[in-house]
Amino acid sequence: MEEQAKFPFEEDILNLANGEEYVVFLRGRAFIIKPATNDDIERVGHGYYCMD
């Protein structure tokens, strides 16, 4: 069976504690990744994507 590809920086992101943030630069743009709270999920009107 083939091993499932990992999301880039998966281990770093999964190890973030509440309140910590991770900055990723993609094509010259900065994105902040942080653990989402229930309030964050409710606030974002575009839904969410589950990557189990």
Check residue 38 and give its pLDDT. 82
Predicted model pTM: 0.63
Q: Which domain holds residue 6?
A: 1-52
Check residue 13 and give its pLDDT. 92
Q: Encoding tokens for residue 2?
A: 């083939």
The domain total for the chain is: 1
Check residue 51 and give its pLDDT. 61
d(CA 33, CA 9): 11
Question: 31-41: per-residue pLDDT in tens?
Answer: 999 998 888 87
d(CA 11, CA 13): 5
Ordered mean pLDDT values, 10 residues apiece, the chain (52 residues): 78 93 94 89 68 61
